[in-house]
Structure 1
Amino acid sequence: MANQVEPKLINALLDRLQQEHFCTLATIDFEFGGPNVSAISWVFAKNEEIIYFAVDNRSRIVQNIKANNKVVINMIANESTYSISGNASVKAEKLEGVPLKLALIEVAIKEVRDVMFYGSKIVSEPQYDKTYDKEAAARLDKQVMAAIKNA
């Protein structure tokens, strides 16, 4: 059923966010004040009320969050589309145990909204493929997700 609103993650989303998942992230651009949308995949739900994600610490995402902490994570899962809004903060400027300079971002969830249009469902979730060295990508993904989970 579309347009349901919850104050925290429902179980299906919590379960899905225990591993890497394609999401989009909307922030407010620090320079021009309008929306900025980015694709992210190193996303992990610590619990029903907190989501962590990792991005390059030089990313515009980090600058945007420091200037305005309001964010929305858009997620396609559970045969629907969800808008997860909350307040973000930089939990760590450099995620430990990872060879890249990644910032760890924490999102305190304020609202989870099912935003799928009426009378429809998702029949296939987005899929992506890493275009660089497959073994290196798998190793890095494992390191990053382990570091996020241990944060």
Structure 2
Amino acid sequence: MANQVEPKLIKPLFDELQKERFATIATIDHETGGPNISAISWLLAKDESTIYFAVDNRSRIVQNIKNKGEVAINVIANETTYAINGNAAVKHEKMEGVPLKLALIEVKINEVRDVMFYGSKITQEPEYDKTYDKAAAARLDTQVMEAFRKA
């Protein structure tokens, strides 16, 4: 059913956010004040009210969140599309146990909306392929997810 609103992650969505996946994040641009949308893949639901994600600590996403922490994360899962709105803050400028300079961002969830248009469902979730060294990518993905769980 479209347009359900919850104050936290529902169990099926929480479960889907226990692994790396494609998502988009909308922030408020620190220079223009307008919307800024980026694709991310390193995210994890820490609990039903908190999401962690990681990005290069020089990313515009980090600058935007430091200026204004309101964010919306769009996730396609469970045959639908969710908008997860919350307040984000930089938890760590550099994640421990990860060789890249990744910032750990913590999002405290305000609401979760099922935003799929009426009378429809997603029949295939987005897929992506890492275009650099597959072994290095897998190693880095494991390091990031382990760092999330320790944070």
**Normalized against structure 1, the TM-score is what?**
0.99
Q: Distance in 2 between matches of 1:56 and 1:146?
A: 17
How far does residue 15 in structure 1 lie from its aligned partner after superposition? 0.2
Which residue does the alignment assign to 1:24? Answer: 24
Q: Tell me the alpha carbon deviations over residues 16-69 of structure 1, each in whole angstroms, 9 at most, x when there is no partner.
A: 111101100000000000000000000000000000000000000000000000
Q: Distance in 2 between matches of 1:74 and 1:83?
A: 5
SS in 2 for 1:33: coil
Which residue does the alignment assign to 1:67? Answer: 67
How far does residue 119 in structure 1 lie from its aligned partner after superposition? 0.2
1:72-91 equivalences under 5 Å are 72-91=72-91
Q: Tell me the alpha carbon deviations over residues 63-112 of structure 1, each in whole angstroms, 9 at most, x when there is no partner.
A: 00000000000000010000000000000000000000000000000000
SS in 1 for 2:125: coil
1:49-64 equivalences under 5 Å are 49-64=49-64
Percent sequence identity over matched residues? 74
Q: Which amino acid aligns with 2:72?
A: V
SS in 2 for 1:21: coil
SS in 2 for 1:46: strand
Instruction: Find runs of 4+ consecutive structure 1 residues off by over 2 angstroms.
Output: none
SS in 2 for 1:124: coil
Q: Distance in 2 between matches of 1:86 and 1:144?
A: 22
Which residue does the alignment assign to 1:118? Answer: 118
Which residue does the alignment assign to 2:96? Answer: 96
Count of matched residue pairs: 151
Which residue does the alignment assign to 1:149? Answer: 149
Alignment gaps of 5+ in structure 1: none
Q: Distance in 2 between matches of 1:73 and 1:150?
A: 22
How far does residue 12 in structure 1 lie from its aligned partner after superposition? 0.7
Q: Distance in 1 between matches of 2:63 and 2:9?
A: 26
**Normalized against structure 2, the TM-score is what?**
0.99
Which residue does the alignment assign to 2:139? Answer: 139
How far does residue 149 in structure 1 lie from its aligned partner after superposition? 1.2
Q: Distance in 1 between matches of 2:122 and 2:53?
A: 24
